[in-house]
């Protein structure tokens, strides 16, 4: 079914088609429309799951945790300070191997108070043990929510999933979207029998104290599950591609054949950067672009392969770790350790500051000339 939807509506449709059974929530801009959309469906009896309004994001995350432990399929959404308020619960949810899907709609962190997007809120959760997808389009948001459940609920994985989009650029911008039919999603995403859940007939204890070596074993199991998820994610994405003809991967290469310089980045601004690559290719410049779709687990192998023949690399960070620099930059450096490449970092787009096609052309031209690594702010 073709419709014109914004990113928030796409996230809501993903939860609806996945037949989420419980949606604990607390609204925050620019996520609010996701919650409003599901609430409107619930009022008209078009959404069959439980819709639970809480007094804060911390309470919403707590309710998600409890509902998922009973075996329910759970969805929620948040942004910015709301996501930070949830943070206490996120490693608990992953540590107890509790599957669920949460959409984060990126918005810059206070202070100063801002509404427009950068990625500091979602990337602050990179060590919380959640699988993380960072989307470029509204269609990708909808598809990733549905695929997220099949990954999260796999009994070899049992880890929560974040599906991220940019506030306003995605959340309030409408594009043509294909909403998959319910019958198709039902065949793709049956409700699995959960091996770990609270059941009065088979009592178990979750979230027990563990010290020293016992604690390390729990964390090692979580890390192993995260690394094992590569194979599950790959299988799920290929299965979805067969059903919908929409292909997704851990990373997405754009005009990388023969590229001597390339941009590496995440998020919605990738679309603008593509236009810059197109313009430079017309002028005979051998440039390309690599978008990181899967941020956790971090796809080092795929990144290394994609950039194997690229000499100069510009890592774009729409975020800032004060005192260090961009967050994506050291991850790319680690993935490419031991290679003789010039890898520079460009901080841009904080607080939703607009970066144009011309700005990306300037970054690429700069990267082509760089003979030593640079760290620059694009203001």
Over residues 209-221, the pLDDT tens digits come to: 999 999 999 999 9
pLDDT (0 to 100) of residue 204: 87
260-270 mean pLDDT:
98
pLDDT (0 to 100) of residue 315: 99
Structural element, H or E, at residue 215 = helix 212-244
Give domain limits for the chain.
2-244, 251-377
Q: Is the pLDDT assigned to residue 378 strictly greater than 90?
A: no
CA dist., res. 195 & res. 192, Å (int): 9
Going by pLDDT thresholds of 50, 70 and 90, the confidence category of residue 8 is: very high
**CA nearest 160: which of 98, 226, 104?**
98
**CA nearest 219: which of 94, 90, 122, 123?**
94
55-60 mean pLDDT:
98
What are residue 15's phi and psi, to 5 degrees?
-65, -40
Q: Do the first three CATH levels of 2-244 and 251-377 match, i.e. the same topology?
A: yes
Euclidean distance between the first and the last CA atom of the chain, given in angstroms as a whole number: 41
Over residues 149-190, the pLDDT tens digits come to: 999 999 999 999 999 999 999 999 999 999 999 999 999 999
pLDDT (0 to 100) of residue 205: 87
**67 to 61, 179, 197: CA distances (angstroms):** 10, 27, 10
State the average pLDDT for the chain.
Answer: 97
- Give the predicted TM-score (pTM) of the model: 0.97
Fold classified for 2-244: Rossmann fold (3.40.50)
CATH placement of domain 251-377: 3.40.50.920
β-sheet bridge partners, residue 159: none
The rounded radius of gyration (Å) of the Cα atoms in the chain is 21
- Sheet with 287-292, strands from edge to edge, namely 251-254, 287-292, 261-265, 312-317, 342-347, 375-377
Percent of the chain with pLDDT over 90: 94
Contact 312, 364 (CB under 8 A): no
Contact 290, 262 (CB under 8 A): yes
């Amino acid at each position: 079914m073709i419709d014109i939807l914004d990113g928030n509506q796409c996230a809501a449709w993903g939860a609806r088609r996945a037949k989420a059974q419980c949606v604990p929530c607390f609204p925050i801009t620019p996520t609010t429309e996701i919650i409003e959309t599901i609430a409107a469906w619930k009022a008209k009896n078009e959404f069959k799951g439980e819709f639970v309004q809480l007094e804060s994001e911390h309470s919403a995350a707590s309710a998600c945790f409890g509902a998922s432990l009973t075996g329910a399929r759970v969805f929620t959404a948040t942004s910015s300070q709301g996501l930070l308020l949830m943070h206490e619960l996120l490693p608990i949810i992953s540590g107890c191997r509790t599957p669920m899907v949460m959409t984060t709609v990126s918005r810059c962190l206070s202070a100063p108070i801002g509404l427009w997007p950068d990625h500091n809120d979602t990337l602050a959760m990179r060590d919380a043990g959640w699988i993380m997808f960072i989307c470029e389009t509204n269609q990708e948001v909808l598809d990733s929510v549905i695929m997220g459940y099949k990954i999260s609920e796999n009994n070899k994985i049992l880890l929560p999933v974040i599906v991220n989009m940019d506030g306003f650029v995605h959340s309030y911008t409408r594009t043509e979207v294909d909403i998959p039919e319910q019958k198709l999603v039902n065949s793709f995403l049956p409700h699995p029998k959960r091996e770990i859940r609270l059941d009065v007939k088979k009592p178990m204890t979750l979230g027990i104290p563990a010290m020293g070596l016992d604690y390390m074993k729990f964390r090692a199991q979580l890390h192993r599950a995260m690394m094992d998820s590569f194979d599950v994610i790959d299988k799920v994405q290929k299965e979805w591609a067969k059903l919908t003809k929409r292909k997704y991967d851990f990373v997405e290469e754009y005009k990388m054949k023969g590229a001597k310089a390339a941009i590496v980045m995440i998020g919605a601004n990738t679309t603008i950067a593509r236009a810059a690559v197109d313009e430079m290719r017309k002028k005979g410049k051998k440039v390309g672009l690599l978008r990181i779709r899967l941020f956790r687990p971090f796809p080092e192998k795929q990144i290394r392969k994609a950039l194997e023949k690229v000499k100069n690399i510009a890592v774009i960070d729409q975020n800032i770790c004060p005192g260090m620099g961009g967050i994506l930059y050291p991850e790319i450096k680690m993935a490419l350790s031991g290679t003789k490449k010039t890898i520079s970092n460009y901080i841009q787009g904080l607080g939703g500051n607009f970066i144009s096609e011309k700005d990306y052309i300037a970054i690429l031209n700069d990267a082509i000339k760089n003979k030593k690594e640079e760290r620059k702010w694009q203001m």
